Amino acid sequence: AVPVALVAGLSRAAHFGVLIKGAKPLEALARITTLILDKTGTLTDGRPQIVSIDRHGDMSEDEILYFAAALDQASKHPIAQAIVGAAQARGIALPIPASVLEMPGEGVTGIIEGRRVVVGGTGFVAAQLGMAKAESAVVEAGSVVVSLGVDGKLAGHIVMADALRAGTAELLSGLRDLGVGRILLATGDRRAVAEAVTAGLGLDAVRADLTPDQKVLLVLTERKNGPVMMVGDGVNDAPALAAADIGVAMGARGAAASAEAADVVLLVDQLDRLLPGIEIAQRSRRIAL
């Protein structure tokens, strides 16, 4: 039977919007020493604003947004949803693509009005277009950049700003006080963006350009040094959440796949709920022992 203190802990955590899927994860949560954070939608608030649209061919800004958003309707990625929202805010009516294929964490390809369209990260789109690398003045340090390709050619870039969640520095120092001595970032995004957004946070390591498989590998490597908690929101994070001692999903706006793979689901879109979650787990464990 599960000790009463643990049951009480589960219900107290639920009050804070922290869904812990049983007594075992509650106990494991109390012992975490390493934290790996996803970037987009986890460390950042995942409501990016468009900063500029950089045209590369003869398409207008609105046409670039039209094709990018039409395809990104198929994706729950926070960057994709921001692009769809921006197009709607400009009053652009979006067509339904004839076919779509999403590569989680990378982008989407499909057919719109008979044209072959690809939208996603600069590296992904460049690879789809058979280009060595998306070279452009706007692929600047620190900004999230989404590229658009149409009929085999680069049509443009959408430059976006995705801010760190408020109170992140305080959250990380609070976690260190609770015994989480090692904190890392793991992102599918580019290194320049990862470093710009985490500057000043004092992270122990920043890993960028990671595929979902490489996120899993990072989790398994870190587990050799102690119990690892991985926090993420995307479909691309689900395997890494499953590989961690404790997987935590940003449940309020994250992908269903990540919530299913996780041991803990944050039911509100607030990363700082990790603090009461771990505090309650540590207290419940002391009482139960």
- Residues taking part in catalysis: 38
Evaluated on CA atoms 160, 254, 251, 1, the torsion sign reads negative
Nearer to ligand ADP, 107 or 156 (CB): 107
The reply on whether position 72 binds ligand ADP by CB under 6 A is yes
> How far, in Å, CA of 94 to CA of 83, rounded?
12
Between residue 7 and residue 66, which ones bind Mg ion under the rule CB under 5 A? 38, 40-41
The reply on whether position 110 binds ligand ADP by CB under 6 A is no
**Residue 267 backbone phi and psi in degrees, to 5:** -80, -15
The reply on whether position 73 binds ligand ADP by CB under 6 A is no
**Residue 264 backbone phi and psi in degrees, to 5:** -135, 135
Of 12, 39, 56, 285, the one binding ligand ADP (CB under 6 A) is: 39
The reply on whether position 189 binds Mg ion by CB under 5 A is no
Count of other CB atoms within 10 angstroms of residue 46: 23
Evaluated on CA atoms 270, 271, 272, 274, the torsion sign reads positive
Secondary structure (DSSP) of 111-148: EETTEEEEEEEHHHHHHHTT-S----TTS-TT-EEEEE
* 264 neighbors 277 (Cβ within 8 angstroms): yes
**Smallest gap, in angstroms, from Cβ of residue 145 to ligand ADP?**
6
Partner from Mg ion, ligand ADP, none contacting 149, C-beta within 5 to 8 A by type: none
**The amino acid at 78:** P
The reply on whether position 236 binds ligand ADP by CB under 6 A is yes
Query: Residue 159 has what DSSP assignment?
Result: E
The residue count for binding ligand ADP (CB under 6 A) is 23
The reply on whether position 41 binds ligand ADP by CB under 6 A is yes
**Smallest gap, in angstroms, from Cβ of residue 277 to ligand ADP?**
21
Q: Choose the stretch contacting ligand ADP; rule: CB under 6 A; options: 93-101, 119-127, 148-156, 255-263.
A: 119-127
Number of H helices, E strands in the chain: 11, 13
Residue of this chain nearest to ligand ADP (CB atom): 188
Between residue 181 and residue 200, which ones bind ligand ADP under the rule CB under 6 A? 187-189
Binding site for ligand ADP (CB under 6 A): 38-41, 72, 75, 77, 79-80, 105-108, 119-121, 144, 146, 187-189, 234, 236
Binding site for Mg ion (CB under 5 A): 38, 40-41, 233-234
